[in-house]
Chain A
Amino acid sequence: MRRAALVAGVVLLAACGGEGGPPGGMAVRDAWVRPTAPGVTSAAIYVVVENVDAPADRILGASADRCSTVVPHQTVVDENDVASMPGVLGDELDLPPGAVVTMEPLGLHLMCLGVGEPIELGDDMELTLTFDVHDPMTVPVVAANR
């Protein structure tokens, strides 16, 4: 039902010729990546995305220099403290107006795969997020140990 409404909204927007939301309507902030140990080829990127006042939207995907692929991912820790990574299960990446998607350790994150040279503390990289509606957005990512 919700997805149908979203699809309808997207179709409507597309029909209106709307390409990308109004400037400032979508905010991407606090992007950081954990440094990688030698030989490790994946890293988790954390970021906060807020739909301030843009039309209903959804994070579709991401890319970053230093990563061959970036996929939205999710860690789930159950009541027995067993951690698993079932990926994105449902509407976690949906951004209705006013919504905030918080990617943080032990939860939603962007998996950076195919890291070549190890990512070291203080390194900078760039993350580009793509949306259903909004134009892609690129933000700096700092390598930190939080």
Chain B
Amino acid sequence: MDIVTFPSQPTDNAAEPAAPARTHRARTLAVVLGVPLLVAVVVYAGFVLLRPHAYFGTVMQAPTPAPSMEDLVGIDGRPVDLAALRGDVVVLYFGYTFCPDVCPTTLAMAARAREQLGGDGERVHVMMVSVDPARDDVERVRDYVQAFDPSFLGATGELADVEQVAATYGVFFAEGAPLGDGYAVDHTATLMAIDTDGKLRIVWSPNVTADALADDLRELL
């Protein structure tokens, strides 16, 4: 079968010589603009991927071993053994069970962060140390923390021991305003991370979000 070719128009012929020049210019332009753009994208991606994680929490410049808590009683009824958790990350919070706003908000947020970590979350141990040992016995602390996450740990003890441990962690607490039939406890409401080497590494303000906490914890694991 013959291929039918349309008669070419003189006007088209006149335009033809210009076409390769235009293609050439376009190619030059693509190279001139495209190559540096590609290089910029690769360099930027490299920086983004390789730059150190920007922690939301405050990172200790010279992390020191987390002070012992062996004088406190854990929710298993035994002295708190931080060394047994070495290799995992411990998220510490000093709070109390009669605390109606800041403690449940923070513990619920920590539970969500741990959930976001999926299987890695099993290597994160959230522990609340009671700053209200007069009212918080072991059972009460256990029921309280486990309501947020069955994996959560807790500790309480004699007031003098709690005071001593709180002081070594830079945590303040004191009886505050009346609350119902009882009282509120004013307390340092930060979260603190003990890293896999057993060192106090990061401090988070209570306004940290679950997303930010999970990102920081992922980096610590």
Contact = CB atoms under 8 A, between A and B. Distances in A.
Interface of A: 34-44, 69, 73, 75, 77, 80-87, 105-106, 109, 111, 113-114, 145-146
B84 to A, nearest CB: 25
8 contacts: A39-B143, A41-B180, A43-B100, A73-B101, A82-B186, A83-B206, A85-B176, A86-B177
Given A37-B144, A83-B186, 20 more contacts: A34-B105, A34-B108, A40-B97, A40-B98, A69-B180, A77-B102, A77-B205, A77-B207, A80-B172, A80-B188, A81-B206, A82-B186, A84-B176, A84-B184, A85-B177, A86-B176, A106-B105, A114-B180, A145-B108, A145-B111
A44 B177 CA distance: 16
B100 A83 contact: no
B147 interface: yes
Given A80-B188, A81-B189, A81-B190, A39 B101 contact: no
B145 to A, nearest CB: 8
B187 interface: yes
Contacts of B105: 34, 44, 105-106
The 5 A-B pairs with the shortest beta carbon distances in the complex, nearest first, are A37-B147, A83-B189, A105-B105, A84-B186, A113-B180
B57 to A, nearest CB: 11
B79 interface: no
B98 A85 contact: no
A124 B174 CA distance: 35
A85 B184 contact: yes
The secondary-structure label for the interface of chain B is mixed
A10 B101 CA distance: 33
Contacts of B176: 84-86
A82 B176 CA distance: 11
Contacts of A145: 108, 111-112
A81 B104 CA distance: 16
A120 to B, nearest CB: 10
Nearest to A75: B101
Contacts of B148: 37
Interface string B108-137: 100110000000000000000000000000
Interface in B124-171: 140, 143-144, 146-148
A61 to B, nearest CB: 15
Contact of A85 (B104, B108, B143, B179): B179
B107 to A, nearest CB: 9
A44 B179 contact: no
B189 A44 contact: no
Nearest to A37: B147
A83 B104 contact: no
Nearest to A35: B147
Nearest to A144: B108
B180 A105 contact: no
